Amino acid sequence: MVHVILCCFALLVECSWGAGFLHRLQPAASPLSVWPKPRNISIGQTSASVSHLLSFSGDISDPLVSKAIDRYKELLFPHEGAADGDIKTVAVKLGSGGGEGYTLKVTPEGIQIAAEAPVGVQYALETLSQLVSFDFDKSVYVTQPVLPLTIQDVPRFSHRGLLVDSSRHFLSVRALKRLIRSLSYAKLNRMHWHITDAQSFPINSRIEPSLASKGAWSSRERYTLEDVREVVKFAQEHGIVVVPEFDMPGHTKSWGKARPDLMALTQDKFSDGNSAALNPNKEETYKLVQALLMDWMTGSPKEKGKPAFFDTPLVHLGTDEVPYKAWTQLGDSRGLFRSFVNRATQMAQGLGKEVVLWEEAFKDGKPSQKAIIQVWLDANVARRATDAGNRVILSQGWYLDHLDDTWEAMYDREPASLVSPDKAKLMIGGEGCMWGETVDGGDLEQTVWPRLGAIAERLWSDPGGKAKDAQPRLASFRCLLLERGIPSGTLQGRGRSTPSGPGSCSEQ
């Protein structure tokens, strides 16, 4: 399927720009310094200067394209007082076929971008921004010595994301937006927002306001409807889909502060506070779950002033680490779990949403074949779930809160190796997971980057390649993050590492 898509895309671009260059496209093994590594390139050996007054023309009226151009003008040209350059124009051709692929052609005469969707234009601009740097001695912007250059690029996996946890520590809207901005630089397209957990319930609800008023850490650590919609809109403008997670039926102790009547408790002392579960024997439990999902995911279209919090296609229903001992007096714990998972899944699907579940839903139950299974603990579940017909997201091996795990180990993790070759299309991608026990807005990005960059390239680029060969490009990408004001750890250490002494950013 990918081969067919690439061939069709190649034909489109060849017809648009003339025949003759596509036969020279080669796998991206070159001095080109771009992260993540593009799919195919045709590369030269010269550079050219770029005008800081770069003019865009063509299909630029689309709102998402227009916003991306405005952002990248600032990112391309951060220094004042630059001299004019030879490359003065960018021609944009936007199709209507969808997808995230793009073609970028750069010559001394100008720049051409072709894409089938606005996000492809954004990705082309990100690649272009990494090709251009400021020559301080000549006071002019110049490209890498790779012209004439043609890049034909498309992501390998459709789901490329980061889980962020705002229950263990609250994360402000501004912190989330800065994180989203950084995700777009690595061409990631999902932010899995783990909002509720045993520790806190920070999201407001029009159905049951007391859940947040009693369950949040404090009165100031909560999200309004407008806060959530602002995050979702900001993410959409950066090519990112927000996937909200409302963890259930376990990890729900915070729900009990407002609704103790719906909780089942265990006396076991869990270090993560996961010592309560929703009571699956009470019909009122399901009424509340249904009402909350409707409130958050669809709103009330017929009632003015009641829009959805999350106007997004995916919802994560948790289902991990249920403290079964809380249900020992209620009946067959695993039977109750299967029933809960199936009913909650049907509710979300009935609202027109695709459902993501943690791997326990597959191991301990029989979830809908349409449900996406997120593998985090047992890599063998990936093969079993895809063999059963479920799509899979990989997170096992990509836990960013494991501070001893190196970027090299994350880079070498290969999702396709975990499933049968004939089921490869059901491995739809993966997520790095930044659980919030030991991070908050003060050190979030420094812990996420640069290791998330390794995951991003593994999910975008062709398989193969070694970490040692990728290291110079990742070091350059880390410098780019720092230049753009995004905190990042070092490549030399592990999670949340800091420089060991003076030196260039590329040496850390």
In whole angstroms, give the CA distance from residue 165 to residue 395: 15
In whole angstroms, give the CA distance from residue 74 to residue 131: 15
Instruction: Verify whether residue 414 is a known catalytic residue.
Output: no
C-alpha 248: how far from chain center: 22
b/e sequence 240-269, b meaning 16+ C-beta within 10 Å = bbbbbbbbbbbbbbbbbbbbeebbbebeee
Which contacts qualify for 384-391: CB closer than 8 Å, 24 or more apart?
Answer: 385/359, 385/426, 386/419, 386/420, 386/423, 386/426, 386/427, 387/419, 387/420, 387/423, 388/362, 389/426, 390/362, 390/426, 391/426, 391/427, 391/428
Catalytic-role residue among 14, 221, 230, 321:
321
Place of tokens 């915070």: 254
In whole angstroms, give the CA distance from residue 385 to residue 368: 11
Angle of helix 467-483 relative to helix 118-131, nearest 10 degrees?
A: 90
Catalytic residues: 321
